[in-house]
Chain A
Amino acid sequence: MTTTAFQKVYTKIDNITKATVTLRATGVGNDELATVGGKLAQVVKIAGDEITLQVFSGTEGIATNDEVVFHGEPPVLRVSDALAGRFFDAYGQPIEGGEQPEGEARQIGGPTVNPFRRLQPSELIATGIAGIDLNNTLVTGQKIPFFADPDQPYNQVMANVALRAKADKIILGGMGLTNDDYLYFKNVFENAGALDRIVSFVNTTENPPVERLLVPDMALTAAEYFAVDKGEKVLVLLTDMTLYADALAIVSNRMDQIPSKDSMPGSLYSDLAKIYEKAVQLPNGGSITIIAVTTLSGGDITHAIPDNTGYITEGQLFLRNDTDTGKVIVDPFRSLSRLKQLVIGKKTREDHPQVMNAAVRLFADAANAKTKLENGFDLSDYDERTLGFAKDYSEHLLAIDVNVAIDEMLDTAWRLFGKYFSPAETAVKKELIEKYWVGTPTAV
């Protein structure tokens, strides 16, 4: 952050609050960056000559006579192929020393893709996890979060998904990552020999929370460079968006804004949408797919953060512990991939949609049977069979440790249908039953 000859230096700060400083200055642009006593800050309010700056790392120790230097531009990232394999902080500075990669300076949080220029996502992303590939198939250009309680292994699942998906670049945006998780990602990527196609922007719990607000925009500016300029398939991982939203709430509170639901700013929906909507399938073949993590508190999806997220993203993958099998599964009821209709039965085998629906319906019947059992009622023969099916289904298909191809998932599902049910009970179309039914042939 060198100062150039034209930059005016101000040395009189009028007001200091926990997060902001106010001073009199001229010729300052909205959103512009500045350095206040060596700390980075951004213009958030202009009222006549009074400029209010938000200091990312907090205002501790800032004195009224500290130097304020305006940079004349909003935050930028220098983009080039040299970003690959590197770890950066929220400002785009290399974490472990080394040279800042050269490249064209691009303002982060850039303009929106014209919806008319977007293509319809149509390429399947196979992850090997049946809870995803079979029930909630992912597509390039999609945006989807994991909804998980903090104790679930979401970062591990996400790392697995990232490495198995055939992406040209993986961009990790870590917000409030614990140091352990940061090292975990680093190790996994290194061990997979994938470092050269990974770019990371990381804000750990050791860094000030407000800095996190820059991470998604940094990650997505890098993603847009690779996807738009280079035509690559880019996968962006954002973890944990709940901590990002918490940082938004802190800032909004300090700006005296009226909070809406759950103390979140009224603009939470737009703030999150600006990030998630960067997911895109481009006409040049490039794409940005966003997989995020939203941690929940006690599985509550009505909280403002998961709730607004759910309205923005194209589905959600809900992780929960299955008490029958003791495994973490992708919950088939609460998970959803909105774009799966674009690929299932088209890019996958014809029986995929019907098999998927039938299995989930039967699993729902099992849940009803379980309620009956808990209420002390006798189970019918059908109830018993659904329970048997549910256990096998959780174990062999829903569990996140499953790693098989989609056709094999479908075959497994047919095998389970044949083992527990009659064709009519599955209510699958007759042509498909005739072609794929395994087990004793029963009258349809």
Chain B
Amino acid sequence: MGTKGKVSGIVANMVVVKTDGAVAQNEICWVDADGGIRLMAEVIKVIGDEAYIQVFDSTRGLKKGASVEFAGHMLEATFAPGILSRSYDGLQNDLEKMSGIFIERGTTTEPVDFAAEWEFTPLAAPGEKVVAGSWLGQVPEINIVHKIMVPFVFEGTYTVKSVAPAGKYKITDTVAVVTGADGVDRNVTMVQKWPVKRAVKAYTEKPRPSKVMETGVRAIDTFNPITEGGTGFIPGPFGAGKTVLQHAISKQAEADVIMVVACGERANEVVEIFAEFPHLVDPQTGHKLMERTIIICNTSNMPVAAREASVYTGMAIGEYYRAMGLRVLILADSTSRWAQALREMSNRLEELPGQDAFPMDLSAIISNFYSRAGLVYLPNGKTGSVTFLGTVSPAGGNLKEPVTESTKKAARCFYALSQARADSKRYPAIDPLDSYSKYLEYPEVVEYLDKTIEPGWVDKVMKGKTLVQRGKEASEQINILGDDGVPVEYHERYWKSELVDGVILQQDAFDPIDAYCRFDRQKYMYNMVLGVCERKFAFDGFEDCSSFFKELINLFKQMNYSTYQSAEYYDYGRQIEEKVSEKEVKA
């Protein structure tokens, strides 16, 4: 019999409960509101026999004396075949299964289908030694092979006693029996539960990531690549194109499973995914995008407490799929809203506030969360990865605020979106000088790029960055001294950086061809642009220089808009070459 309690106090969604027994921190409980509605809540503080709980829903009309039932476990996610392509709220309720236009208070729906049958194939044999996360069998789930694993909550080593023969099973059917060191048999089904705030540790090792993950966005892949199992974040003021960039990545990234966690953001942005992904084709596999996507959606008007849970639910599901040896990409938009949810609760708990009224341990919470991403070696030696990319919405666009600063300590890639670039419609507005990817410093990444793109690639990337830096300096000089006040070389330097910017860094996310640029095409274009920048030109004054480069950039842009390796594409390439040799100083 679980602990019970009665409501004794209410302030907004924080409720005080007088309990009659033991309660645990972060334990889940259910509050009986009028009309048979049960509201889910989580313990966030205990003082004596009073538990302070945050209700994941509106507490309107709740009265003193309402009964509360404690569940005896923390907030859990349900793992089973059938998660792929679903849309959940922050507590893993299936949104599609809810009837009616509105989400009525206290509505819960099953995250997976308990009646469905799956085509099971055994992978383990009796006598095999297994641990949590070991693969016992598999079922096909849409386009991926879904492994049935020893539940993550199993501690220690087990011996497989039996595995069900191939055939159709429901997720609650026993598909294996394993024997523990204590000699006790335990049944394994295809469904398991896991407390979302705890990291899944079903792996043997977490090596440094080394493979670059292609996103099709030049400013990321070429200039500041992210790795499989890497972490990155995108801070930017509103209107700088965070969401467009994240959507582009979610459509194009080279991953097996994409988790989109819409955390406290606009509902219409999720609707865009609902509307488009079932029709769009995954450029990597030719399957429908929705088939590899899972959406966790707690939009800004949905309950704040559940917003905090949503990022953890997303991460836990990501870790589950990683344990199957898959490449998972989690995109969270925006982690600032999550931090704000933490702030609201901290405020209600009357904790002493840190900077900007955020809780003191914000930085620790964020780095703890980011550390759950990564590349792992599974018990069977295979690899799986969770790549995490979060957006941050800094108040007033000021990157010196607590969420941005805390995230900067945790994430390895930093894609700073700049207001100035957005204002001049230079999209994606990733600032080429402020942004960085720590992975470019990893010898294993350098080696990987040498092998897969071309030897010396990272040096070339650095050359491009230097060009942009020098162009910026030249442009400052020009602005101070005037067009005539500087030598023409300054203009040339400036325009070469404009060429890199206009052709490589800028990309039209709404053009069907330019939006998605594969690595081979990026390499081709980047080499071509660097080639032009390395040549020497003779100009009759700065106007000659600027008009030459403007025309050149225009031709390059037309090339970006053309199908790769088409006649048209090469034709623009030829025009560029002609134009360049006209002005070139021949040695």
Contacts and interface: CB of A to CB of B under 8 A. Distances in A.
Given A45-B11, A311-B238, A377-B482, A120 B275 contact: yes
B423 A333 contact: yes
Contact of B101 (A228, A278, A334): A228
Contact of A266 (B237, B238, B357, B554): B357
Interface residues of B, number: 78
Interface string A404-444: 00000000000000000000110101100000000000000
A110 to B, nearest CB: 7
B479 A261 contact: no
Contacts of B87: 115-116
B251 interface: no
B35 to A, nearest CB: 12
B98 interface: yes
Contacts of A257: 347
B301 A274 contact: yes
B396 A307 contact: yes
Given A307-B395, A427-B557, A31 B550 contact: no
Which of B59, B101, B103 is most buried by chain A, counting CB atoms within 10 A of its CB?
A: B101
Given A116-B274, A266-B357, A381 B98 contact: no
Interface residues of A, number: 86
Contact of A378 (B267, B347, B482): B482
A115 B344 contact: no
A48 B543 contact: no
Nearest to A72: B61
B524 interface: no
A361 B425 contact: yes
B63 A29 contact: yes
A266 B340 contact: yes
A193 interface: no
Nearest to A365: B424
Interface string A73-97: 1100000000000000000000000
B340 to A, nearest CB: 6
A302 B301 contact: no
User: Which one of A48, A260, A280, A371 has the highest number of Cβ atoms from chain B below 10 Å of its Cβ?
Assistant: A260
A364 B424 contact: yes
Contact of A29 (B62, B340, B357): B62
Nearest to B88: A116
Contacts of A258: 347, 353, 357
Interface string A251-271: 000000111110000110110
Contacts of A276: 300-301
Contacts of A26: 64
B8 A270 contact: no
B63 A28 contact: yes
A191 interface: no
Contacts of B64: 26, 28, 46, 48-49
B274 to A, nearest CB: 7
A114 interface: yes
B356 interface: yes
A30 B10 contact: yes
B98 A116 contact: yes
B397 interface: yes
A316 B100 CA distance: 31
Given A120-B271, A377-B483, 16 more contacts: A48-B64, A112-B302, A113-B267, A114-B101, A116-B274, A261-B396, A266-B340, A267-B347, A277-B266, A277-B267, A278-B301, A304-B395, A312-B300, A341-B510, A382-B543, A382-B547
Interface of A: 26-32, 44-49, 73-74, 107, 110-121, 141-142, 228, 257-261, 266-267, 269-270, 273-274, 276-280, 282-283, 301-304, 307-308, 310-312, 314-316, 333-334, 336, 338-339, 341, 353, 357, 360-361, 364, 371-372, 375-378, 380-382, 424-425, 427, 429-430
Interface of B: 8-11, 16, 34, 58-64, 87, 95-96, 98, 100-105, 237-239, 243, 262, 264, 266-268, 270-272, 274-276, 297, 299-302, 304, 334, 337, 340, 343-344, 347, 353, 356-357, 393, 395-398, 423-425, 479, 482-485, 510, 542-543, 546-547, 550-551, 553-554, 557-558, 561
12 contacts: A29-B62, A115-B87, A115-B95, A116-B87, A120-B271, A267-B344, A273-B301, A304-B395, A307-B395, A357-B425, A375-B482, A427-B557
